[in-house]
Every structure is written in structure tokens, then in C-alpha cells.
Amino acid sequence: MVVDPTLSVFSLECYVIGAILRPGVSLLRRPSVIMRLLEFPAVVIDCPSKDDVADRLADRNLAWGLGKNCLFSVPERSLSSMLSRAPMYIMLVDLDDNGLQGTAAVDLSGYADGPAIVGKRGFRRGRVPLVDLMGNRVAFIDIGGRIGRAGCHLVGH
């Protein structure tokens, strides 16, 4: 198998730490966060504590503490320009019936400035406001993530 020597494998790690809903946001029966980066498939992260939804929402806080990791290969020199042209989209949804609650577009262009060697450094955390379709703030989401470079040796796998 011939491997393009310009390709490199990268690891995108996304973590949802939690969300704080603003007053007036509908009760979410099955809250989930959907993340989408570039042309890669969307990643769904369900809220783990689906029991006692009313108790969990009494203080408007949702706790996830979960994340997902995906591998992708792109030319190393292209990663920075790709991330500067398209943000990572984050959506707070109710998978049962209320649908889309809020969205945000997160700029990851700074993540491509010297991607971390996997497991060494590069983890970033932040609080992002989510807005509904009318532009009203409905929640804040605490997320973390990093892009790690695994190198070109994994491209053929």
C-alpha cells in the first residue's frame, strides 16, 4: 500500500464537562450535545444521568463529564488553514422531543498551531455561550478538547 507522505494522523478529543441552562429553557428529557468538525461525521454525547431529570434541572445544571475521540488524516500543512476556515459546531439538543435548544460555533484555529504530541499537552478548556435560532442565549456549555498529532506512521492502518 502506497501512503501519501504528506498525510498525518491527528486525534481530536472533545469533552463535555457540563452545561448551565438559562431560566425559561424547556425541560430536556434526553439532553445531548452534538459536535461537528469540518466534513467529518457528527459526534453525539448523551448526558449520562438521565434519572431524576427534574432534580437535575432544579439548579439548571447538567453534568456530562464525558467525551469522544476521533482520528482523522489530513496533510499536516493543511490542518491550520482547514481549521481557520471552518469552526467546530456544537449543538445542545433534546433527543426525545424538544429538538434543538442552542448552538455555537467554536474557533479551533489556535489548536492547529503546533498540535500536541498525543498524551503530552494541548488540552484546552472553555465556557461557550449557546444561542437559540433567534440569537437568544439559552445556555453556557463547558467544554474541553485538544488536537494531537500521532504522525504519519498510522496513515496506512
Tell me the pLDDT tens digit for each residue of 44-92: 998 886 555 555 556 678 888 899 888 888 787 777 788 888 888 999 9
State residue 91's pLDDT score.
Answer: 96
Give 80's DSSP letter: H
CB atoms within 10 A of CB 55: 9
State residue 38's pLDDT score.
Answer: 80
Domains plus CATH for the chain? 7-151 (2.60.40.150)
pLDDT in tens, 89-115: 999 999 887 789 999 999 887 766 554
pTM of the predicted model as reported, rounded to 2 decimal places: 0.79
Residue 157 binned pLDDT confidence (cut-offs 50, 70, 90)? very low
C-alpha 34/C-alpha 54 separation (Å) is: 22
144 DSSP β-pair partners: 15, 125
Cβ–Cβ under 8 Å, residues 136 and 120: no
The set of residues, in sequence order, having a beta carbon less than 8 Å from that of 12 and lying 6+ positions away, is: 37, 69, 70, 71, 72, 145, 146, 147
Please give the C-alpha separations between residue 153 and each of 24, 46, 112, in angstroms, as whole numbers.
51, 33, 19
